[in-house]
């Protein structure tokens, strides 16, 4: 079993454990060890520190298979996904541009962070919700600003990294292209000007 397969198995087991814990939490609270809490906070803080946007969702109603599918789609889009306790989530985002989400950390919380494209997390959750209406977006954040769930489509429509680079290159190349066209036009204009002067002098001499 290679590293990717091992990671996938661990994620599935972790997801199953979290969902089972969530289902039983109202009857039997499960305490995390201090080192486990510290590890979770450190992991999420690191991801949040380099993320471009975030989406919070309520995952109640999703089963293990659906959660595994969501994690797979998120991984393919370079989106960090974590089911996390609200107290730990608040600690993890404190001091980051996602601290604006602190008030929305209520109820079962799934945190999705875009690590490469600003609209990636929103796109992954939007597409996943088409066939899994149990997932409910609670809030989004980008650029230090908290957004309501109604802005999911707007954030999901943001250009990808490649699209943004293409747009930037197009903007940068536009003046260069215009300049090159100007330079190409100079010789022909110069030839016409010289020819006009020659004809004028010839007429004056006659």
Domain ranges of the chain: 3-158, 159-206
Compute, in degrees rounded to 10, the torsion defined by CA atoms 43, 45, 46, 51: 120
pLDDT value of position 170: 64
**How does pLDDT run along the chain (206 residues), one tens digit per residue?**
554 454 554 555 555 555 555 544 444 456 789 999 999 999 999 999 999 999 999 999 999 999 999 999 999 999 999 999 999 999 999 999 999 999 999 999 999 999 999 999 999 999 999 989 899 999 999 999 999 999 999 999 998 767 666 766 666 666 656 555 655 555 555 555 556 656 666 666 66
Q: Are strands 145-147 and 79-83 parallel, antiparallel or unpaired?
A: unpaired
Give this prediction's pTM: 0.67
Classified by CATH at the fold level, domain 3-158 comes out as: Alpha-Beta Plaits (3.30.70)
Q: Extract the tokens encoding 80.
A: 């960090």
Per the CB < 8 A criterion, the answer to whether 108 and 58 are in contact is: yes
Task: Please name the residue that has the structure tokens 């699209």.
Answer: 163
- Which residues, 6 or more positions from 11, have their beta carbon under 8 angstroms from its beta carbon? 68, 71
Which H or E element spans position 30? none
Compute, in degrees rounded to 10, the torsion defined by CA atoms 59, 64, 70, 72: 150
Whole-angstrom distance between the N-terminal and C-terminal Cα of the chain?
A: 96
pLDDT value of position 44: 97
């Amino acid at each position: 079993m290679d590293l990717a397969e091992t990671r996938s198995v661990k994620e599935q087991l972790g997801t199953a454990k979290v969902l089972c814990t969530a289902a039983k939490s109202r009857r039997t609270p499960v305490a995390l060890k201090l080192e486990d809490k510290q590890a979770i906070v450190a992991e999420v803080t690191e991801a949040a520190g380099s993320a471009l946007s975030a989406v919070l969702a309520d995952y109640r109603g999703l089963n293990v298979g659906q959660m595994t599918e969501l994690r797979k789609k998120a991984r393919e889009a370079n989106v960090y996904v974590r089911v996390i306790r609200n107290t730990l989530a608040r600690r993890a985002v404190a001091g980051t541009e996602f601290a604006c989400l602190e008030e929305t950390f209520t109820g079962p919380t799934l945190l999705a962070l875009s690590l490469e494209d600003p609209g990636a997390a929103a796109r992954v959750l939007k597409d996943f919700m088409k066939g899994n209406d149990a997932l409910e977006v609670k809030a989004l954040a980008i650029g230090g600003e908290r957004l309501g769930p109604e802005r999911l489509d707007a954030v999901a429509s943001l250009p990808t990294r490649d699209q943004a680079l293409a747009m930037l290159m197009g903007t940068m190349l536009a003046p260069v292209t215009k300049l090159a066209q100007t330079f190409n036009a100079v010789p022909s204009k110069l030839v016409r000007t010289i020819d006009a002067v020659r004809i004028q002098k010839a007429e004056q001499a006659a």
